[in-house]
Amino acid sequence: MGVDLTQITFLGLTAQTWITVGIAVFGLMVSLLTFARGWRWRAEAAPLFAMLDGDKLLWPDFSKAGIDPPVIGYLANCGDGRAFNVKVIGVNCDAGLWDCRQIGETVLGKQSEWIMNDCGRLPELTGETMRFFITITPPRNPRPEQSGDLTKLEIGVHWVSSPTRLRRCRYTQFPIWGIEPMKCGPFERLRRRYRDMMGHRRFHALDRKRASEQKKLLS
């Protein structure tokens, strides 16, 4: 004779009910692990700011555009995803985002010409695009809380991740003169996460302030 599971009870439930609950819980855990793995390994953008120290090729073209930046760097995407609605902000400095397109081919012994467009924001930043540059200049209207320490000059990059309909924005900062190690411990990761979180809040606060000022000018 077999065991009748309907006759065995525990905490008011039969053994057959407990087996059904266990199978349901196991299926739920497998589903959650599958979802977490897909979320962990999803494609993400990874903007990178690289300073062009000593590169004088673009300086004449920026001078023609009416700007003489002490520092120039390019903005690239090292991630496997795309970044949308990309904006740049300067921390303790002014930052400009430029779309630079070379005219013709590079000829040995001849200065290449570039078209410099002050775009302000980028609709999309992919891993194949290498023509977007960032100019760093001293703040035109310095605020009291801004620091004059060159080691505290940073670039903040704000973008929207895919899918854009979720409006999931991201933010990260890059030191201009400071050196950050490629490998860092948990405390350094926490420090950077806190820095980016505070910078993200500051970015949205400044963005709302600029929108309010523009609204007053148009009204």
Task: Decide: 71 and 136 in contact? Cβ < 8 Å.
Answer: yes
Query: What's the pLDDT tens digit per position in 124-180?
Result: 888 877 778 888 887 777 666 666 666 678 889 999 988 888 888 999 988 887 656
Q: With 70 as the cut, is the pLDDT of residue 8 above it?
A: no
80 and 172 inside one domain: yes
pTM of the model: 0.73
**Assigned domain for 164 exists:** yes
**Assigned domain for 190 exists:** no
pLDDT at 171: 92
Cα of first residue to Cα of last residue in the chain, in angstroms, is: 88
Which residues form the domain of 73?
A: 47-182
Nearest to 179 by CA among 45, 51, 46: 51
86 and 141 inside one domain: yes
Query: What's the pLDDT tens digit per position in 63-104?
Result: 776 777 778 888 889 888 889 999 998 888 888 888 887 776
75 and 134 inside one domain: yes
28 and 103 inside one domain: no
27 and 55 inside one domain: no
**Assigned domain for 178 exists:** yes
17 and 87 inside one domain: no
Residues 6+ apart with CB under 8 A from 60: 111
pLDDT at 55: 53
Query: What's the pLDDT tens digit per position in 95-131?
Result: 888 888 777 666 565 666 777 778 888 888 888 777 7
For residues 32 and 206, give the distance between their C-alpha atoms in angstroms, rounded to a whole number.
Answer: 38
For residues 145 and 114, give the distance between their C-alpha atoms in angstroms, rounded to a whole number.
Answer: 37
16 and 71 inside one domain: no
